[in-house]
Amino acid sequence: MSRVTAGRTRRGPVLPRAVAAGLVAVVALVTGPVPAGATTAAASRTTPAAHAANPEEDPTPQPGPSTPTAEPTSPAPDATTPPPTTPAVETPAPATEPPATPPPASTPTPAPPGRPGPELPGRHRLGVHVSTGDVPLTGAYWNGAGEVADLRVAVANTGGTRQVMRLGYRLPVGLSDAGTPGCAAAGDGYSCGAWTAEPGARWTTRIQVRINPDAWRHMPLSGSVRVTATAPGNPDLPAVSDDEGFAVLFPPGPPAVGVSLDAGEVSFDISGQAATLDVRLGNTGDTASTGTVEVLLPPGVSIPAPPDTCTAVDAVRTRCLLGTLAAGEAGSLRLPVAATAEAQKLAPLSGAVIGIMDAAYGQTRQMQMSFRIVAAAAGATPPVLDGVGPTASQGVLPPYGALTEPDPLTRVEKTAIALISVSVLLVVLALVLATTSLRRRPRRANTAGGPAPVTATD
Say if residue 234 is in the same domain as residue 270: no
Given a cut of 50, the residues of the chain with pLDDT beneath it are 1-12, 14, 26, 29-31, 33-99, 101-122, 381-407, 454-458
Whole-number pLDDT of residue 404: 35
User: In which element (H, E) is residue 137 found?
Assistant: none
Domain residues for the domain of 363 are 259-375
Q: Which of 201, 195, 204, 200 is nearest to 230 (CA)?
A: 195
Within this chain, do residues 238 and 295 fall inside the same structural domain, yes or no? no
Pick the last residue of a domain from 375, 405, 434: 375
The pLDDT assigned to 402 comes to 34
202 with 296, same domain? no
Task: From 224, 283, 216, select the one nearest 251 (Cα to Cα).
Answer: 216
Residue 352 lies in a domain: yes
Residue at a domain's end among 203, 231, 249: 249
- State the pTM of this model: 0.56
> Which pLDDT belongs to residue 412?
72
What is the per-residue DSSP string for 240-302?
EEEEEEEEEEPPSBS--TTEEEEE--EEE-TT---EEEEEEEEE-SSS-EEEEEEEE--TTEE
The answer on 209 and 307 residing in a single domain is: no
Same domain, 299 and 208: no
Q: In three state form, how does the secondary structure of 218-239 look?
A: HCCEEEEEEEEEECCCCCCCCC
CA distance 326 to 36: 99
Instruction: Note whether 132 and 245 are same-domain residues.
Output: yes
Residue at 351: amino acid letter = G
Residues 213 and 273 in one domain: no
In a domain? residue 87: no
pLDDT, position 446:
53
The reported pLDDT for the residue numbered 416 is: 81
The CATH number of the domain where 281 resides is what?
A: 2.60.40.10
Count of structural domains within the chain: 2
**Whether residue 294 sits in one domain with residue 238:** no
The residue type found at 131 is S
Residue 396 lies inside a defined structural domain of this protein = no
Residues 226, 300 within the same domain:
no
Which residue, 356, 375, 394, sits at the end of a domain? 375
**For residues 320 and 329, what is the distance between their CA atoms, to the nearest angstrom?**
17
Cα(320)–Cα(152) distance, integer angstroms: 36
CA 176 to chain centre: 35
Same domain, 185 and 240: yes
Whether 236 and 306 map to the same domain: the answer is: no
Q: For residue 139, is it within any domain?
A: yes
Domain assignment of residue 447, yes or no: no
